[in-house]
């Protein structure tokens, strides 16, 4: 994967803010998000179950070398398909939660074919048609 350095500018998102009109630094997105090249993968999100956090079409940067912790957004392999969900640890075990309240939680059982595949560390969204 070829790394490209992009200039990083500050953009104030507050009310009446004025950002400095100069380049703060040069930053390669690869250097910022890819700490371990062999364990970093990209997924394209599909569906609406993770809205309003993750939208269909978002590119998710997933690191398999990071240990998952309660509350993180992860990619799991469940019953033959990859899914993006928030992972919760409860007294009953692992629960996969969608951000969209129209989707129900998934309680993981021992009978399920289940693997925590990796932790989502970043996402990119094409805002040209947003």
Catalytic residues: 49, 85
SS3 10: coil
Give the side-chain half-sphere CA count within 13 A for 64: 11
Write out the two tokens for 45.
């999100």
Residue among 124, 116, 119, 117 at smallest CA distance from 30: 124
């Amino acid at each position: 994967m070829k790394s490209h350095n992009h200039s990083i500018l500050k953009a104030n998102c507050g009310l009446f803010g004025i950002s400095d009109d100069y380049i703060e630094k040069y930053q390669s997105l690869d250097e910022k998000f890819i700490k371990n090249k062999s364990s970093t993968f990209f997924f394209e999100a599909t569906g609406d179950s993770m809205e309003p956090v993750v939208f269909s079409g978002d590119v998710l940067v997933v690191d398999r070398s990071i240990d998952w912790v309660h509350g993180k957004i992860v990619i799991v392999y469940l019953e033959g398909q990859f899914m993006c969900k928030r992972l919760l640890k409860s007294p009953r075990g692992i629960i996969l939660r969608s951000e969209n309240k129209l989707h129900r939680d998934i309680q993981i059982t021992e009978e399920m074919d289940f693997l925590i595949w990796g932790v989502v560390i970043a996402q990119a969204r094409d805002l040209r048609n947003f």
